[in-house]
Structure 1
């Protein structure tokens, strides 16, 4: 009886998540959509043609540039920062890790006022690369903590064997550890990309005009009195595609799991 009730509860929760997705798809194919979920009597591709305007494509390219730049910079620096935290006996290492985790709970809004003043003072405002630097900095604490866990799973014996063969610490990281933590780096990369892709407050404050990403320009469909639900739904569908494509590309690493049991011979 309890098993059936649990299945029914999961079914209801699944429907609650599915209905908004169905509304988005249906509304994108309507000429004048409303908030009601009514089956299509006829559909049109006009909304997609409108959304694929030069201005919107520019904003999507800005989002891709920001997100990929943030992802690459974060993964590289997180790996370099996590390795000594995983391998070396550093003073106050545990305290540093706890402080790093604590920093992830700081509200972004509280940081933006001094960051904006800093960017204005040094002429870094309205620059995609400067924005990438800040977005990577805010992603680093959690990414480093995640990467440390993956590096911890790599047997130390592999690096000891490499050092006997004459490898330096950096060579061991590059040739031994890095290939084995590719699945973990993929997880960190996807997390960072999704976080940067949906980031609204940072680019809204630090960027202007043609440099605005899609997370900000999506608000063009809202006005004081009306909302273009058809355009909003269409824009939302296109907005999710890069994340789905990235996940599909990295599936071959994620699907393989993170198993290192055969890496060390007895």
Structure 2
């Protein structure tokens, strides 16, 4: 039976942020692996959605390890659906990477992001550009620009929720999620088993706070500017040819400004890791191998 990893036990670790917040993350593969891929998820999902990729990368052997992070307010992390500030979510990742670097000296760290996670990863990579912490930046269905349908639905959903609060004069706590995320399982994949798995996933976000919406916008705007500030870091991107959310043509044109870019396309929807995990694993393993001559922490 196809399921999404919701475990709070096996393979899950935590990192304590300066404010006491615990960032949860999942790990696959050997501790001594020379290359480590650190993956950030999209807005609605969590680290468990990356389990098919992590499992297959670990099966390749001891050469590549995989770590998937729950962003602040998502997955197994506390106060689900709430990000107080975009900069806080970005700094969470940067501090975790510093911790990983200290714990795994000599390991090449490849920061990756799926969907909105690619935007978060871009901002983090720009902040770390001068410190040679990262060996490459990997993107899967990067969500820099979404199609008109999703943008319109998202705007309508946010406006409707805010209108209700204003009209009814409701006193909503800042950490209370009440804005519905207008995504359906069918936006990610057409595979029947994965549609059922997404529907049954109790850790996915259904509603978010105003702070989260503002934080997402803050990170999105920053990522477009910061992409030019990642230095000579190799960028590798994979697109789903049948993606219903991302404006592939516009994103590809945007990414082409970088001097060291490699792009691939698979015949999938938005959730490439669900539909073609083996093909995605092979591509990422090849990306990591190709970046091996890059900066070493």
- Structure 1 and Structure 2 fold alike (TM over 0.5): no
TM-score (norm 1): 0.24
Larger Rg: 1
More helix by share: 1
More strand by share: 2
